[in-house]
Amino acid sequence: MTMLGDRQQLAYIAAQAADARVNVELETEGMTLNIGPQHPATHGTLRIIARLDGEQVVWAEPSAGYMHRGYEKLTEVRTYPQVTALVNRIDWLGSFANEVPFILAAEKLMGVEAPARAQHIRTILFELSRIANVSLFLGDLGVQLGAVTPVFFAFRDREYVLNLIEAATGGRFHPNFDRIGGLKDDLPAGFIDETRMVMKKLRTFCDQIEDLLFGNEIFQSRTRGIGVIPKDVALQYGLSGANLRASGVDWDLRRDQELPMAWNKADWKVWTHPDGDSFARCWVRLQEVRESTKIVDQLLDTIPSGPVMAKVPKIIKVPEGEAWVSTENPLGEMGYYVVSQGDQGPFRVKIRSASFNNISIVPWLLKGVYVPDIITILASLYFILGDIDR
């Protein structure tokens, strides 16, 4: 007999049990459906192995790793400034947000703090990447549930945000703009007015999506009561971000922790929802986009003047030590545990990405649902494959 890992063995036993149940009770054959690695619903190469009884899922297990790019290992042979180019690609829809916690961790080790202006602009770009990320979720949600129109609205309005990010950083998708001690550049001329206009457009977009999708009865009947995650289960599985807030846990790292960022300078609200179902998760994200536009608007008014770069040596060497910094990224809590031995590059970086933990609940959540609900649940959990596989 081949040696199986504990986890695989458990999965094997569960599959056997599932077979037995299907065969004994209904005298029908079960079917194993591989959703992915290439499948329209998995936006990447996630594979979900589902054992079906008719259209009902008896047992399901996500199988990640088809797009593993080895970023944690790669960081060991890169210098600190080079690492930001790598971590950009983890959650590719909200790239700038990936850079921030890493840079903050490195700054923490070096004892450097970015100037106030840089902190402000960082926060603005962070929120812009959140909007770019989550607004695409709102459109994609429609496609997953069969409505083709919202996704085009999402792409249209997201383009404005990407243009802003491009104007400020030079890159639409992968800005690589954050530096230890501040930012690469100051904002371009006209950025502030342009951003205000775009935020207005984004709020209109949110209203449109709310009318078109959230108010639709079919949408509600497809998402309400589907994939309910109770509060305690959500905490046990280590969910974070909107998935956790939708289960009624009032938890937002932007508010709850002290970081050299500008979130506490704006007035905004953390939305939660008591239901914990798919609808709640989608709704919380919609509100999040609205709050983000509010944060950006307020921060634009109060950008302090001054330099965008603190005094740091040309060749960055981070002193020996260990640091953990996590932020509330578009997908949830994203953190970096940086171990330094005083070299130009980190000795080891452990990346805690939100999606990996968020989809760990999938086997628990998919038990007993119908095949169409798999898609609803996956869409509402909202993962980015790069964020799972790293």
Structure tokens at 45: 């190469």
Indicate whether 142 belongs to the interface with another protein (CB under 8 A).
yes
| Binding residue (CB under 8 A) for another protein from 277, 328, 333, 373 | 373
Site map 20..39 versus another protein, x via CB under 8 A: -----------x-x-x---x
Least distance between another protein and beta carbon 68 (Å): 25
Residue range at the interface with another protein (CB under 8 A); choices 94-102, 147-155, 165-173, 236-244: 147-155
| Binding residue (CB under 8 A) for another protein from 83, 105, 374, 388 | 374
Least distance between another protein and beta carbon 118 (Å): 36
Residue range at the interface with another protein (CB under 8 A); choices 3-11, 177-185, 344-352, 372-380: 372-380
Q: Is 55 helix (H, G, I), strand (E, B) or coil?
A: coil
The secondary structure of residue 309, as a DSSP letter, is B
Residue range at the interface with another protein (CB under 8 A); choices 10-18, 94-102, 140-148, 316-324: 140-148
Structure tokens at 231: 């509060």
Cα 12 to chain centroid, rounded? 31
| Binding residue (CB under 8 A) for another protein from 15, 49, 147, 233 | 147
CA-closest candidate to residue 179, choices 248, 110, 268, 274: 110
Q: Is 326 helix (H, G, I), strand (E, B) or coil?
A: strand
Least distance between another protein and beta carbon 122 (Å): 32
Indicate whether 200 belongs to the interface with another protein (CB under 8 A).
no
Nearer to another protein, 260 or 372 (CB): 372
Torsion angle of C-alpha atoms 227, 46, 142, 140, degrees rounded to 10: 130
Q: Which helix (H) or strand (E) holds 145?
A: none
Separation between Cα atoms, residue 16 and residue 382, nearest integer Å: 30
Q: Which helix (H) or strand (E) holds 29?
A: none
Q: Which helix (H) or strand (E) holds 322?
A: strand 321-329
Residue range at the interface with another protein (CB under 8 A); choices 209-217, 265-273, 331-339, 341-349: 209-217
Indicate whether 201 belongs to the interface with another protein (CB under 8 A).
no
Which residue stretches of the chain are H helix? Answer: 6-26, 71-74, 80-87, 95-110, 116-144, 149-169, 191-209, 217-223, 231-236, 242-245, 253-256, 278-301, 354-358, 362-366, 371-381, 385-389
Of residues 48 through 67, those in contact with another protein by CB under 8 A are 55
Residue range at the interface with another protein (CB under 8 A); choices 170-178, 277-285, 320-328, 369-377: 369-377
Cα 43 to chain centroid, rounded? 13
Binding site for another protein (CB under 8 A): 31, 33, 35, 39-41, 55, 142-149, 152-153, 156, 212-213, 216, 218-219, 221-222, 370-375
